[in-house]
Structure 1
Amino acid sequence: MESGTKHRFHEFFAGSGLVSCGLSDSFRSVWANDVNERKARVYRANFDPQVLHVGDIADVKGSKLPAASLSWASFPCQDLSLAGNIEGIYSERSGLVWQWLRVLDEQGDAAPRVICLENVSGLVSAHNGEDYRHLHQALVNRGYAVGAVLINASHFVPQSRPRVFVIGTKGPIPSCLSADGPIWAHTTTLQRVASTIDGFVWWNLPKPERRTQNIDDVVERQVPFDKDEVAALIPANHLRKLETSGREYATGYRRTRHGKQVLEIRCDGVAGCLRTPAGGSSRQYLVHQDERGVHARLLTTREVARLMGAPDNFELPGTYNDGYFAMGDAVAVPVAKFLSDRLLTQLVEAAYAV
């Protein structure tokens, strides 16, 4: 598909633009918004800078947006995350999704007929599913047929990153895109919430092929290990796990257990879920085992980008923290591509068929 014939989409809470990267085979962003200048520098370095509008979503006027067929919104997760305070979807940060809905309303009949929202799994588990039910009903009230799936990026990249994707359409749904009931992308928690919602759409997606890449494949091997004092924090039982795994590399986060700092590692070839580097325990370490012992260092920004599925030519301007921040608060590229290829493109084409 030539760039001129790609479907147009709006990119809310665009961050560093990894969604645009993932959707690029079939979609092009014609308008993007984010409030964070650090992420905006990364976006501008990789995409058309004129597309991005930096500022508060509360100041966005839907009537001023260019025409588009898809609206994507990766709204803030802090108030829905198990790592946060779980204040819910009406709180200050995660509640910005209602501003997105306001913008959608202001577009009137020109509003995109297909929508996709992304957030952490807490969207369906917090408050016994009430947060999700409120959002779902708000979309239904606006004429969308809606369902949700939960996809872990670990199907595609060596990082555990489960995320919920809420997808809606105002157009016909091709029979191959919906199922009669849950599939692999509907967890028990999601099924429980869906069972309380009339008309929930069970989106049908083929299960991804088995991932072949592991943590070893993203490592920049020329980077020295300079945090042996952190490696010394690995508990004895975790060291035994590393030794018996036979793996050269593992990843870990610092934790406080019983008043003591430890480095808890996982040795299954998959990194833990990346976070934004807000504090000392939010940066993930790479652990290396060789004949001289066990060593540690922080993941590099390029390793973090690879764990998000970003290509190696994806530019990460700024400091280490800037790059880590841009990647740790984003959508994994191959997950966005998978949804585009297997669901969103077909829904848009059906919704806008002449």
Structure 2
Amino acid sequence: MPSYLEFFAGGGMVRAGLGGRWKCQFANDFDPLKVQVYADNWGEKEILEDDIHKVEAEDLGRRADLAWASFPCQDLSTAGNGLGLGQANGGDRTRSGTFWAFIDLMKELKATGRLPRIVVLENVVGLLTINGGEEFKAVVAALDRLGMRAGAVVVDARHFVPQSRQRVFIIAVSKTAKIADALVRDEPHPTWHPDPLVRAVHKLSGKCREQWMWLNLGAAPELKKTLNKIVKSNPVGVDWHPPAETKRLVGMMSDENRKKLAEAKSSGKRVVGTLSLRMRPSNGRTIQRTEVCFRGLAGCLRTPKGGGSRPRVIVVKGASVRTRLLAPAEAAALMGLKSKYRLPDVYEHAFKVIGDGVAVPVVSFLRGKLLTPLLRSIKKSRAADDSKARRVARGSSERKRRGQLELRV
């Protein structure tokens, strides 16, 4: 059974996506809330609550097949501060710069012959463009110094669940590993390798570009479940807004958004949408507006920083218009988590875990399309090389024995 190390593990959504055919060997997060949620769902055996800078290579056990690191995105997001990763050896490491602590651990594992066969890094797509692509370039160069060649894909969770959630996944293997031809492409795929990724790759050093892999994920799956099926009429953990609050939210809409609402009413069907509160310019000043979307998709779930940032839904059926907060169980479903997944009872705590997570079906997709086949390809080529080496050694031994016999004759 393949084994893995899970860093910045949060509530264990990577574990949920890798499933029971992969074995978690070690998991780590420094946030007590997330560690508790991880333990509630997966047990306490593998999870270590500590700052990654304090994790020791000895904590990680034998050589694992995979190391997964969903390192913090705050300093790489377009909505963040643009601080980036900081310097690998400097004192200016940012929150996202905990990436360097992960790399330090991988260096220690390499020194003892335990570097995982596959490394996966996950983050927001801002990693590709922030600071002119220099942060992405630094990440790939760090993998290169480990003796690994990289490839990357950008996957939007909307292919699997009704949530728009783009993330970049950088996948690296040893430069000496032989990869099956079916797992790589000669050129980028428009779905998995969008223009920001292609431009970022062009900015890499010549050596890293030469070793780059355009990973092959095949065709994109078709979404089968809409927001209409996720949002319940009788939610748990939240209440429908009083009519006065719904009226207030509708009253904050622009003419364009009121038109969308009118069209939803006129359909006569149950139509589910999302509500967002945004600060918009109006007549020379900035005011708060309610914006509605009826595309059947939720926006990217995040950790709410205030009341206005909490995700809201609107349900329309004829003249009836109801609004409320998105329920934690609905948010969990938008991440592809099973109904038995245990979340904190406190609303803000539940969304802190969900907002920082990885969409489970995306991990499962990558596992099936890339990770398992990559590992199989690496081990198969290694076994073939070992077999060849043994045959060469036997042949050399046989020739030596024959030579000794001839000398005796």
TM-score tier after normalising by the smaller chain length: over 0.9
- 8 Å Cα contact 1:26/1:345 also seen in 2: no
Is 1:255 paired with 2:296? no
Q: For residues 40-80 of structure 1, give each alpha carbon's deviation from its aligned partner in whole angstroms, at most 9, with x where no partner exists.
A: 12111110211100110010012331121100000000001
Measured on the aligned residues, the alpha-carbon RMSD in Å equals 1.5
Q: Does 1:10 align with 2:43?
A: no
Moved more, 211-220 or 60-69: 60-69
CA distance in structure 2 between the partners assigned to 1:288 and 1:140 by the alignment = 50
**1:335 and 2:362 correspond:** yes
Once residues 346 and 39 of structure 1 are traced to their aligned partners in structure 2, the CA distance between those partners, rounded to angstroms, is 31
- Count of equivalent residues: 349
Deviation at 1:214, TM superposition (A): 0.9
Q: Matches of residues 1-354 of structure 1 in structure 2 within 5 Å? A: 6-67=1-62, 68-90=64-86, 91-108=93-110, 109-170=113-174, 171-183=177-189, 184-197=191-204, 198=209, 199-223=211-235, 224-226=239-241, 227-228=245-246, 229-245=248-264, 246=267, 248-258=271-281, 259-353=286-380, 354=383
Measure the CA separation in 1 of the matches of 2:166 and 2:369. 18
How far residue 231 of structure 1 moved from its aligned partner, in angstroms, is 4.0
Moved over 3 A (4+): 229-232
TM-score for both structures, normalised by structure 1: 0.95
With normalisation by structure 2, the TM-score equals: 0.82
Contact (CA 8 Å) 2:162, 2:226: kept in 1 or not?
A: yes
Q: What CA distance in whole angstroms lies between the structure 2 residues aligned with 1:41 and 1:218?
A: 26
Corresponding letter in the other structure for 2:52: I
**Is 2:128–2:136's contact at 8 Å kept on the other side of the alignment?**
yes
- Counterparts in 2 of 1:152 and 1:26: CA distance versus 1, 3 Å: same
Q: Is 100-109 or 215-224 further displaced after alignment? A: 215-224
8 Å Cα contact 2:250-2:258 kept in structure 1: no
The structure in which a higher percent of residues are helix is 2
Quick one: distance in 1 between partners of 2:218 and 2:261? 34
1:221 positional shift:
1.4
Name which one, 1 or 2, has greater alpha-carbon Rg: 2
Give the Cα separation in 1 of the matches to 2:24 and 2:249: 42
The higher-RCO structure (CA 8 Å, 6+ apart) is 1
Contact 1:231/1:287 (8 A) holds in 2: no
Q: Distance in 1 between matches of 2:187 and 2:261?
A: 40
What is the CA-CA distance between 1:292 and the residue it aligns to? Answer: 4.0
Q: Is the 8 A contact 1:148 1:167 kept in 2?
A: yes
Residue aligned with 1:248, SS: strand
In structure 1, what is the Cα distance between the partners aligned to 2:49 and 2:42? 14
